[in-house]
Amino acid sequence: MPKHSFSTVLTPHPDSPAPEVRQLRVSGERHPLTLSLCYTLVGEWADFVFPDKNHPAPANKLWQRSCCELFWREADSIAYREYNFSPSGQWAAYAFSAYRKLENILPPPPQEMEWTVNESGLILQVEVPVCEKPLQLGLAVILQRRSGEIVYHALRHPSGAPDFHHPDNFALYLP
């Protein structure tokens, strides 16, 4: 299988604008059994909170603070995987058999995860295991303001409240 490259921009949810965020881009390469991603966040970060570096380990509820997310499924399947990546180095992986129906199994952890944080931006490079079949991806970034307010960016937003699990969020197809 030849590798497939992509690059896309995430947009803010209409209910959580963030003019300080100038660009959230995700680029990547699809390999037969892995997906390599690079999240690039550019903006003014003084108003946002990012978790301190911690020991890289699995953790829950990372979506309640600043983090990057990946949702992937086999094309046209209802079962999917969710990965959360925190600037702390912590990560989470979940398996769902259908919309928000959590399975009692854990997907494999990310194979590599490296954060670069500086005054003008954040870069996350991560590699995760995937299946060999065509994929549909949902990509998202959650940013927490110092006030506690959460800002949501995604590849696509269904109408209503932010919902990265929604089937419409799986908007990027990779053969």
- Per-residue pLDDT at 145: 95
Q: Model's pTM, two decimal places?
A: 0.94
- 84 contacts: CB under 8 Å, gap ≥ 6: 62, 63, 67, 68, 69, 91, 92, 93
CA distances from 78 to 73, 118, 132, 170 (A): 7, 38, 17, 10
Nearest alpha-carbon partner for 30 in 171, 134, 155, 154 = 134
CA 131 to chain centre: 18
32-36, 46-50, 69-73, 76-80: least confidently modelled range = 46-50
pLDDT tens column, 140-168: 999 999 999 999 999 999 999 999 999 99
Residue 144 belongs to domain with CATH number: 2.60.40.1190
Number of domains in the chain: 1
Residue 144, domain extent: 4-174
The dihedral built from the CA positions of residue 149, 18, 52 and 114, taken in this order, carries a sign that is positive
pLDDT tens column, 55-81: 778 889 999 999 999 999 999 899 999
Phi, psi of 48, deg, nearest 5: -110, 155
